[in-house]
């Protein structure tokens, strides 16, 4: 009798254990069904958001479609917490080449414009440094001798006859020059050299060249080129402005004879134009070539479902 009771108790225990296992299995089945349904909904949402517009290949995505792609990336990383890491990486890897190509296209246009502005500024700096037209004769007051035009530059003094003949003589000593022309010599030469260095750096780091393969170093090289162009623009504007100020002050000085008065030459205006072009090129490069801080080559960070992801994730 006691053996029968023991066996009956064991049977009840086994039946209870089997019931618990069946309940757990049914619960797991319902959970799997819910997981499958949720993954199906997520795939449907992704198929609508991550797929490019019809009849437009992924390689030809225009900038106007970038908000659509950014929305897809945001939803993929933030809302689809149950999506597997491999699936998110696959979708983001399909989208990132199009975004990178579009960004490079915009940066290439800016770099081409900056190269053109830098070359024009370099030409202006060379002309301002070489041509002897910083100061020209002024025909005012009692000065009626117009048969000769005196021109003063950084390196020589010229006399132009009314017949078109021109005679130039180099300065015999640096000390006979005024302080503004002495400083202008050094500053214009440094400006031209710094502009050449900046243009070479810009060619090396521009997006339309392949001199540098590392995409993280290119913005830094372009930023260095922008700083060099900014400095060269300042080095060109300062001497021409200094010389122009001295020329205007001497012209308005009543103690100076009318025959010794000078006016602004064409090199002053060429220098101003070249300096503005160099400043514009350097400013554009500094604004559009800033390196992205806190990123490693533009790669995205992925987090698994078990790991605790931070509150804000950036692509």
What confidence score (pLDDT) does residue 315 get? 40
pLDDT reading at 97 higher than 80: no
Query: Sign of the C-alpha dihedral, residues 13, 17, 23, 26?
Result: negative
pLDDT reading at 211 higher than 80: yes
Give the least confident one: 71-75, 152-156, 207-211: 71-75
174 HSE (CA, 13 A, CB side): 7
Identify which has the larger pLDDT, 60 or 274.
Answer: 274
> Which range scores top for mean pLDDT: 5-19, 72-86, 232-246?
232-246
Buried b (16+ CB within 10 A) or exposed e, 189-207: eebbebbeebbebbbbbbb
**Residue 262: beta bridge partners?**
137
User: In CATH, what number does 106-131+179-288 get?
Assistant: 1.20.140.150
- The answer to whether the beta carbons of residues 154 and 134 sit under 8 Å apart is yes
pLDDT reading at 107 higher than 60: yes
Residue 31's pLDDT band (cuts 50, 70, 90)? confident
Stated pTM of the model:
0.61
pLDDT in tens, 265-280: 999 999 999 999 999 9
DSSP state for residue 260 in the 8-state scheme: G
pLDDT reading at 298 higher than 70: no
pLDDT reading at 141 higher than 90: no
What confidence score (pLDDT) does residue 176 get? 80
Q: Where are the domains of the chain?
A: 2-51+63-102, 106-131+179-288
What confidence score (pLDDT) does residue 121 get? 95
* CA 80 – CA 82 distance, rounded (Å): 5
Closest by alpha carbon to 195, among 120, 284, 288, 111?
Answer: 120
């Amino acid at each position: 009798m006691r053996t029968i009771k023991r066996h009956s108790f064991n049977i009840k225990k086994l039946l209870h254990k089997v019931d618990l296992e069946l309940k757990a299995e049914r619960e797991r089945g319902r959970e799997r069904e819910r997981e499958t349904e949720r993954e199906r909904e997520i795939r449907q949402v992704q198929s609508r958001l991550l797929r490019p517009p019809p009849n437009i290949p992924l390689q030809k995505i225009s900038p106007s479609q970038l908000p659509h792609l950014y929305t897809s990336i945001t939803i993929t990383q933030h809302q689809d917490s149950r999506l597997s890491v491999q699936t998110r990486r696959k979708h983001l890897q399909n989208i990132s080449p199009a975004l990178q190509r579009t960004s490079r296209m915009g940066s290439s246009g800016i770099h081409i414009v900056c190269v053109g502005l830098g070359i024009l500024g370099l030409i202006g700096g060379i002309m301002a440094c070489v041509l002897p037209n910083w100061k020209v004769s002024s025909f005012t007051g009692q000065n009626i001798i117009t048969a000769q035009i005196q021109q003063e530059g950084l390196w020589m003094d010229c006399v132009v006859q009314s017949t078109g003949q021109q005679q130039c003589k180099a300065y015999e000593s640096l000390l006979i020059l005024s302080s503004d022309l002495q400083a202008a010599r050094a500053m214009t030469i440094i400006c031209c050299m710094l502009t050449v260095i900046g243009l070479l750096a810009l060619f090396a780091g521009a997006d339309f060249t392949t001199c540098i393969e590392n995409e993280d170093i290119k913005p830094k090289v372009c930023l260095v080129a922008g700083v060099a162009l900014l400095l060269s623009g300042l080095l060109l504007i300062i001497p021409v402005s200094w010389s122009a100020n001295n020329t205007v002050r001497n012209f308005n000085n009543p103690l100076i004879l009318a025959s010794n008065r000078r006016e602004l030459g064409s090199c002053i205006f060429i220098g101003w134009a070249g300096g503005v072009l160099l400043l514009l090129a350097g400013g554009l490069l500094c604004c559009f070539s800033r390196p992205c801080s806190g990123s490693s080559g533009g790669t995205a960070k992925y987090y698994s479902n078990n790991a605790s992801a931070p509150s804000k994730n950036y692509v």
